[in-house]
Amino acid sequence: MKGSCRFSLPVTVAATAIIYIYFSTLFVFIDQWFGLTSSPGIMNAVVFTAVALMCIFNYSVAIFTDPGRVPSTFVPDIEDAENPIHEIKRKSGDLRYCQKCSHYKPPRAHHCRVCRRCVLRMDHHCIWMNNCVGHANYKVFFVFIVYAVIACIYSLVLLVGSLTIDDEKDEQQSEGSFRTVYVISGLLLVPLSLALSVLLGWHIYLILRNKTTIEYHEGVRAMWLAEKGGDVYSHPYDLGVYENLILLLGPNILCWLCPTSRYIGSGLRFHTAYDKTAGASTSK
């Protein structure tokens, strides 16, 4: 589904940074180190361009893909034997109902104050995309982060490598206009590489546990309350590492880094650990 997302200042800044890093890497770092007409230069230019195109494509898809809307006709069926878990309000014990949207909220759905609607399997609202990260665009968001990390580290390696060239002509050129390019690129690439690597590691952890960012923070409190009451808290959607990877990245490992998401389902119901328990008990 396509949303009505508009470009914002953070999106413009991010797009400008991507374009600047691409052209500076191609026409300064690679050209200074290898020369764009040499075989190593052409090879690095082709590989980096491919990574950059995948990064830009996934970023664009993540921006313009609707993260998932709750159907206006959705009503939880509490008598559904195949759906043994229903999320309820913490205090009243009622089924979760959004007063602002005037409909029930499916499991893992949350209301976004920025988008002003409920989002299926909401992870967070990303200002750099001017869009929520949710059920329908989470994978493409994750794939974008993967390619962004690869592109930043690749560009940083080329930047450092091009600085090791001791040719006098190159030194004279770098003292002029290239010096500004190197300084700006370094100020962009170093913090971006660190920040995006941390973000990638964080979402790898979430994928392995089949959690969203919201569920992680809710789980910390739930774990504390469970331990306080002498119980043990377990995340109901954690099906094991392999099952979690398949559910979030797709059944074909060769497509894990491709922006495909036809396998994700409706986003109104998710497999839980209770499904296996219920199936085991009925088979006895």
Q: How far apart are CA 31 and CA 97, in angstroms?
A: 58
Active site residues: 126
- Residue 101: CB partners within 8 Å, gap ≥ 6? 70, 111, 117, 118
Q: What is the pLDDT of residue 64?
A: 94
**pLDDT of res. 176:** 58
3-state SS, the chain, equals CECCCCCCHHHHHHHHHHHHHHHHHHHHHHHHHCCCCCHHHHHHHHHHHHHHHHHHHHHHHHHHECCCECCCCCCCCCCCCCCCCCCECCCCCCECEECCCCEECCCCCEEECCCCEEECCCCEEECCCCEEECCCCHHHHHHHHHHHHHHHHHHHHHHHHHHCCCCHHHHHHHHHHHHHHHHHHHHHHHHHHHHHHHHHHHHHHHHHHCCCHHHHHHHHHHHHHHHHCCCCCCCCCCCCHHHHHHHHHCCCHHHCCCCCCCCCCCCCCCCCHHHHHHHHHHHC
Please give the structure tokens belonging to residue 102: 């005037």
Give the pLDDT confidence score for residue 283 in this predicted structure. 41
What's the rounded Cα separation, in Å, for the pair 160 and 3?
A: 40
What is the structure's pLDDT at 167?
54
pLDDT at 280: 44
The pTM of the full predicted model, rounded to 2 decimals, is: 0.88
* Contacts of residue 88, Cβ cutoff 8 Å, sequence gap at least 6: 94, 95, 96
Tell me what pLDDT residue 2 has. 44
Question: Do 155 and 189 touch, CB atoms closer than 8 A?
Answer: yes
| Tokens linked to 241 | 């590492």
What does the pLDDT read at residue 240? 93
pLDDT in tens, the chain (284 residues): 444 445 789 999 999 999 999 999 999 999 999 999 999 999 999 999 999 999 999 999 999 999 999 998 888 876 555 555 556 555 555 688 899 998 899 999 999 999 999 999 999 999 999 999 999 999 999 999 999 999 999 999 999 999 887 554 455 555 556 889 999 999 999 999 999 999 999 999 999 999 999 999 887 776 656 556 666 668 889 999 999 999 999 998 988 998 887 778 889 888 888 765 544 444 44
Please state the domain extents for the chain.
9-166+176-281
Neighbours of 10 (CB within 10 A): 13
